[in-house]
Amino acid sequence: MISSVTWRSSLATLALGLASTVVVAPANAASMFGFENIFPGDTFGDSIVGDFGFDVSDTGGGQVLFSFFTTNTVTAAVAQIAFSDSTDLLSNLTILSGAADGVQFGSTTANLPQSNNILDHPNGDAFNEDFGVANINLMGNPDGLNGTAGALQVGDSLVLEFDGVLADVAAALNSRELLVGIHVRSIDPNDESDVFVTPGTVIPEPMTIVGSTIAALGSLGLRKRRTHRS
């Protein structure tokens, strides 16, 4: 029979062991990011800015993947994505997927609408379209064509690969040294458009997982002691 003292000691040892292994996230762990409105700027998409996001993960071979998505179920769709990399963390952009879902994007460094209103990087640099992709149906005529054909819609997948280091990229996204902007078109009710930019991470830090694990173990230990006493 295990005494309550022995059980508490074992529980503490187990919790500390789990904490030491959970705090450090795997090298290829994904971080998810969202967007915010640009002020001053258009307001057509203010109510749907939370419908767009992307996660960043590591391939394990010196590349990082940006996987873009939308949960908007009406008509709004992403027509352009631009990267402003003030610290030169990224290189060699490759479009890995999207065509299978009908997403027809090509590489471009065309101007992102409203980019002159995006807050500067911490080092004072303005938003500069260092890398980017856009709906090929809009290229060369960005203001003369609307609609969602070829754009990123709900249920679609668009994955972009860069040479880079995940930890550095995630840190730069949080510090705004790396900015990502998206141009969203076909916003109801009048086929308007708007532009959003990254504000930072929206995923809990690993310590949250540790806290939840230890709390669960503590609850388990309390139930065990009550069972033993009865």
Task: Return per-residue pLDDT of the chain as tens, 230 residues.
Answer: 444 444 344 434 433 443 443 333 444 567 899 998 887 666 777 788 889 999 999 998 899 999 999 887 777 889 999 999 988 999 999 999 876 668 889 999 988 988 888 877 777 778 899 999 999 877 655 444 455 778 898 888 899 999 999 999 999 999 889 999 999 988 877 778 889 999 754 434 333 333 333 343 344 344 344 444 44
Distance between CA 132 and CA 90 in Å, rounded?
A: 12
Residue 25, pLDDT score: 40
Q: Which long-range contacts (CB under 8 A, 24 or more apart) does 119-125 make?
A: 119/176, 119/197, 121/84, 121/86, 121/176, 121/177, 121/179, 122/175, 122/176, 122/177, 123/86, 123/177, 125/84, 125/86
Start-to-end CA span in the chain (Å): 14
Residue 217, pLDDT score: 35
Residue 106, pLDDT score: 92
Q: Does the reported pTM lie above 0.75?
A: no
Distance between CA 12 and CA 18 in Å, rounded?
A: 10
SS3 assignment, position 8: helix
Residue 201, pLDDT score: 44
- Quick one: which of 214, 219, 228 has its CA closest to 12? 214
Residue 1, pLDDT score: 47
Cis amide prior to 26 (ω within 30 degrees): no
Cis amide prior to 204 (ω within 30 degrees): no
Distance between CA 68 and CA 49 in Å, rounded?
A: 14
What are the distances in angstroms from CA 82 to CA 48, 60, 131, 141, 219? Answer: 19, 24, 6, 17, 47
Q: Which long-range contacts (CB under 8 A, 24 or more apart) does 54-57 make?
A: 54/180, 55/30, 55/31, 56/30, 56/31, 56/32, 56/166, 56/169, 56/170, 56/173, 57/28, 57/29, 57/30, 57/31, 57/166
Q: What is the 3-state secondary structure (H, E, C) of 67-96?
A: EEEECCCCCCEEEEEEEEECCCCCEEEEEE
Quote the DSSP letter at residue 21: H
Residue 220, pLDDT score: 37
Residue 210, pLDDT score: 37
